[in-house]
Amino acid sequence: MPIKPEEKAEIESARSQSAQTRRATVPALEEVLFTPMPVLDHGFVRVIDYMGDDSAVVQAARVSYGKGTKRVNEDRGLIQYLLRHRHTTPFEMCEIKYHVKLPIFVARQWIRHRTANVNEYSGRYSILDNEFYLPTPEHLAVQSTSNRQGRGDSLPPDEAARVLDLLREDAMRSYRDYAYMLNEDESGKTVDESRSGLARELARMNLSLNFYTQWYWKTDLHNLLNFLSLRADAHAQYEIRVYADAMIETLDKWVPLVAEAFRQYRIGGAQLSASALTVVKKMIAGEYIDQPASGMSKREWSELMAVLGR
């Protein structure tokens, strides 16, 4: 992921500054603050700001005046209890703000989570960069036959190469036409004085969904965990899952006890329906039960069997 010289200078300037505070800070997160974590071919995730830590969750749950005399193991147990029993408000006491660079089609999927404050790069005000996402060949796959919004097997190498050529050619052509319609360079200077340029808010509609956009995304810890539980799931689209994976790395640095509980009860756990729980109880009791007798649909049954490793 190339970083422009002016962007690098901005990052170095931000990282060179420090402030004295009485608020809780997290050394592990401070160490990577403002630093971009590469995602996909041109994207990144970086933490811009945060508020609170593991102790803030504990403090909110106990409504105490400070960290108190509780041991880490007691805090770990309380955080696990809160997450396990869906006591969500203590997690709302922590907030984090990310700067994310991502393909437009990923952004449109991401924005469905209406639980954050978002400010996106303006294509009406600024000229969009000539950067677009191209998947690696192994991530070019056919439509899944069992999931209408998923992928199946990878394309054969020759077909994958042809698709990549088409994606690259289309993106390059659309940006070339975008630049022509603007009649401006990146600094906003007119390229051809003999003609007028199209308004930026209109010229941008020519660009395809694989072009990159950027935004600031601020949310509380509770809603971040909800986002990650969906987007870090194995069934999530690859291109958004890799962003969620990068954000989990920041979660580990920011609130390690919460991250541990999150992996235990959300990522590594499973939620069972009443019918599924009945089936499990019968299996434990040694009873034989199959899908028709379970009262579950074929899809529910197969999902349960997958969870149980059967």
Residue ranges of the domains in the chain?
Answer: 1-132+210-269, 134-209, 274-308
What pLDDT does residue 214 have?
96
What pLDDT does residue 66 have?
60
Catalytic residue among 200, 204, 231, 266: 231
Catalytic, 231? Answer yes
Tell me the mean pLDDT per 10 residues along the chain, length 310.
Answer: 80 87 92 96 97 95 68 88 94 97 97 95 92 95 78 89 96 96 88 92 95 97 97 93 98 97 92 92 93 92 91
What pLDDT does residue 5 have?
83
What pLDDT does residue 60 have?
93
Under CATH, what is the fold of the domain 1-132+210-269? Gyrase A; domain 2 (3.30.1360)
Contacts 24+ apart (CB under 8 A), 297-305: 300/273, 300/275, 300/276, 304/272, 304/276, 304/279, 304/280
The predicted model scores a pTM of 0.91
